[in-house]
Amino acid sequence: MPLRHLSKAVGAAVLLGGLALSAPVQAQTPTSMLDTIRSRGNLICGVNTGLAGFAQPDSQGVWRGFDVDYCRAIAAAILGDGTKVRYVPLTAQSRFTALQSGEVDVLVRNTTWTLSRDTSLGFDFAGITFYDGQGFMVKASLGLTSARELNGATICVQPGTTTEQNLTDWARSNRIEFRPVVIERIEEVVGAYTSNRCDAYTTDVSGLAATRAVQPRPADHVILPDVISKEPLGPLVRHGDQRFADIVRWTHFALLGAEEFGLTAANVDQAAASDPRPEVQRMLGKNGELGQMLGLQPNWVVSVLKTTGNYGEVFARNLTPIGIQRGPNALWTTPGGLQYSPPFR
């Protein structure tokens, strides 16, 4: 009866639409993430679809960047091999669902840590890998020294994210009048700024630095010192598996600790064999059972460091070339630095 087939096909379509109306079901983690990842043999990492310095495929289609190195580091910690990662490119809109529904194990996608994301979305932020904040870039010829002098200026901004909201809030609280030029695509908004349609361009400082670095004459542009918002970026995991969250968190701390102790990709093997400092010995698995406490191999930090190098190396490889300074992302031992690892003991 072909007519029945017809009604079946159409029925399926209607059913699909009807599903959309039923209440969402919160995804749970039935077994431990660690076992899932080990049995699957790879880590599924949600990354940006393309953001210079943080996550972008190179000409050969290999993912590279700061966030990508964190994916590799976590994979190295758990599986001992930084190449065992599946990268799932996610847009700003689809990233949270992908994590909630279990499509990815961990989301390392320049995501700002906020209270609502940490609680009501059901996520845990595993640390702050990069301290960012919204700033302004202007042409040096304007001679501005502070964003407060932007009264009456035309400001280029991208819509949709918190950037536009931050700008409006900041202008209102500082009684500054401005005319926004709102453009969606980054190339176009930068084009509008460079072709003098706007006096200033605002986005996160890391983005400003990256834009400035590729201008024909970077010195013609100045990033003003004012930072009008806090954008701490970090990796996220789902609520409910503390062990996995611990691993992601301490992978970040291992990168920081390694920089503090001067351990690099090149010297870690030698240090593991002969470094006399007790904390280094504990960290690299010579002494104590730190690895076992996390459910990992004793030499997990050695695997991580051989994969990516320490935090400073990760930073220098991905962010320094696009003109981003260490700034607040320097170690706490440097003035102004905020990156700090709790002790390995």
Partner 1 sequence: MSDITAGPVPTPTASRRAPISTTGPWAWARANLFSGWASTAVTLLLAYFIITWALGFIDWAFVNAIWSVPNNQTQACRDLKGVGACWAVITEKHRFILFGTYPYEEQWRPLLVCLLFIGLYIVSAMRRFWRAELGLIWIVTLAVIGVLMWGGVLSMSFVPQERWGGLPITLILSTFGIAFAFPLSILVALGRRSKMPAIKMICIVYVELIRGVPLISLLFMASVMFPLFLPDGMNIDKLLRAQVAIILFAAAYLAEVVRAGLQALPKGQYEAADAMGLSYWQKTGLIVLPQALRTVIPPLVNTFIGFFKDTSLVLIIGIFDLLTAGKTAIVEPAWQGFGVEVYIFIALIYFCFCFAMSRYSQSLEATLNNRRR
Tell me the closest approach of the beta carbon of residue 151 to partner 1, in angstroms. Answer: 31
Site for partner 1 in 173-212 (CB under 8 A): 187, 210
Name the minimum Å distance from CB 315 to partner 1: 15
CB 261 to partner 1: min, Å: 31
> Can you state the angle between helices 33-40 and 242-260, rounded to 10 degrees?
80
What is the C-alpha to C-alpha distance for residues 92 and 23, in angstroms, rounded to an integer? 23
| Given 13, 182, 293, 316, the residue binding partner 1 (CB under 8 A) | 13
Helical H segments across 108-203, by residue range: 115-119, 162-173, 186-194
Q: Considering only residues 32, 94, 114, 162, which one is a binding residue for partner 1 as defined by CB under 8 A?
A: 94
Judged by CB under 8 A, which stretch of 46-54, 157-165, 249-257, 258-266 contacts partner 1?
A: 46-54
Distance CA 88, CA 82 (A): 16
Q: By CB under 8 A, tell whether 24 contacts partner 1.
A: yes
Q: Does 41 bind partner 1 (CB under 8 A)?
A: no
Binding residue (CB under 8 A) for partner 1 from 59, 120, 173, 195: 59
For partner 1, the closer of residues 172 and 185 by Cβ is: 185
For residue 14, give Cα distances in angstroms to 10, 17, 18, 20, 24. 6, 5, 6, 10, 18
7 binds partner 1 (CB under 8 A): yes
Helix (H) or strand (E) holding 124: strand 123-125
Give the whole-angstrom CA distance, residue 10 versus residue 331. 61
Stretch 275-334 residues interacting with partner 1 (CB under 8 A): 321-322
User: Residue 292 CB: number of other CB atoms within 10 A?
Assistant: 12
CB 210 within 8 A of CB 323: yes
Question: Binding partner 1 by CB under 8 A: which of 51, 79, 248, 258?
Answer: 51
Stretch that binds partner 1, among 51-59, 71-79, 126-134, 233-241 (CB under 8 A): 51-59
Residues 216-275 that bind partner 1 (CB under 8 A): 216
Stretch 98-127 residues interacting with partner 1 (CB under 8 A): 98, 100-103
Contact 211, 217 (CB under 8 A): no
What residues form DSSP beta bridges with 134? Answer: 204
Contact between 61 and partner 1 per CB under 8 A: yes
Our CA angle for 258, 232, 38, nearest 5°, is 55
The closest of 238, 306, 324 to 66, measured between CA atoms, is 324
Q: Does 58 bind partner 1 (CB under 8 A)?
A: yes
Spatial distance between the Cα atoms of 222 and 214, rounded to a whole number of angstroms: 13
Out of 84, 86, 117, 239, which residue is the one contacting partner 1 (CB under 8 A)? 86
Residue selected from 38, 40, 62, 159 as contacting partner 1 according to rule CB under 8 A: 62
Query: Toward partner 1, which CB reaches closer, 13 or 293?
Result: 13
Contact status: 28 vs partner 1 (CB under 8 A) = yes
What whole-number distance in Å separates Cα of residue 332 and Cα of residue 306?
24
H or E element, residue 294: helix 290-294
Smaller CB separation from partner 1, 46 or 291: 46
CB of 22 to partner 1, least distance (A): 7
Cβ proximity of 193 and 136 under 8 Å? no
Q: Which residues are near partner 1 by CB under 8 A?
A: 2-3, 5-7, 9-11, 13-14, 16-17, 19-20, 22, 24-25, 27-28, 30, 49-53, 56-63, 86-91, 93-94, 97-98, 100-103, 187, 210, 213-214, 216, 321-322
